[in-house]
Amino acid sequence: MNAAPIGFFDSGVGGLCIRDAVRKLLPAEDTVYIADSANCPYGSRPPAEVRELARGHVRTLLAKGCKMVVVACNTATAAAIDALRAEWPDVPFVGMEPAVKPAALQSKSGVVGVLATEGTFNGRLYRETCARFAKGVTVVTCVADSFVALVERGELDGPEAEAEVRAKVEPLIAAGADHLVLGCTHFPHLAPLIARVAAGRAKVVDPAPAVARQVKRILAARNALNSSGGSRHEFIRT
Ligand code: DGL
């Protein structure tokens, strides 16, 4: 089991930032990554549809012998993680949660901006995270589905990408946000551009390193860490 790979899936290439953070922290692990580009974007799909897609990816990853599944997508986590855990109680799942907590703790202005998809904002997980961790802090939100298309096209900079990022980020900063939470795994790919647009006025909060630490904690607790792999990284694109 220890030598088995860690499985990841997302609606496209976004979740690669999560996989890469895991690879950085756990270089002796093998990985399998599913980029469901054929069905991208997930953000505006009904949750039941995202759930069905997620179940299919989990079946594929388990058939490939994965010892853990990282739902490297905020939208799919919001729509499906409870159902996945119920269906496969023996499989450890790690999901995404917008990093509202660290942003709220560090905010000096008392205003935190969150960028995510419609599906994430509509989910129970997001509401609960804000209710638990954003007490006394104002959370301003922005549906930034257009960032997903930019990242899928590999357009991480340039006039069009910058204009799009500016249109989403400026209102959050104007509302007083001094932290910008990237609540979609596609968005860290645009982090350098977002940081440039924010120009020191707000800090960009990337959840990937915290997710990687959670993967490590769970595998360590199950004595399932690998010490001899790290050379096999499969990438499946639908
Ligand atoms: N990367 C995804 C997320 O974290 C989904 C983006 C999309 O397909 O809309 O929410």
Asked whether the predicted pLDDT for residue 49 surpasses 90, the reply is yes
The domain 6-96+209-237 is placed in CATH, from the list 3.40.50.300, 3.40.50.2300, 3.40.50.1860, 2.40.128.90, at 3.40.50.1860
As its CATH architecture, domain 100-206 has 3-Layer(aba) Sandwich (3.40)
| DSSP 3-state of 82 | helix
| pTM score | 0.96
- Ligand 1 proximity of 148 Cβ (cutoff 6 Å): yes
What are the tens digits of pLDDT across the range 105-147?
999 999 999 999 999 999 999 999 999 999 899 999 999 999 9
Average pLDDT, the chain: 97
Asked whether the predicted pLDDT for residue 1 surpasses 90, the reply is no
Structure tokens at 7: 């499985």
Sheet holding 6-10, edge to edge: 93-94, 68-71, 6-10, 31-35, 233-237
Which sequence positions are flagged as catalytic? 73, 184
Which is nearest to 146 in space by CA: 105, 115, 103?
115
To test ligand 1's pocket by mutation, which of 16, 39, 40, 75 has the most ligand atoms within 8 angstroms of CB?
A: 75
What are the tens digits of pLDDT across the range 184-203?
999 999 999 999 999 999 99
Q: What pLDDT score was predicted for residue 60?
A: 98
Q: State the distance from the centre of ligand 1 to the C-alpha of 40, rounded, in angstroms.
A: 8
Ranges for all domains in the chain classified under CATH 3.40.50.1860: 6-96+209-237, 100-206
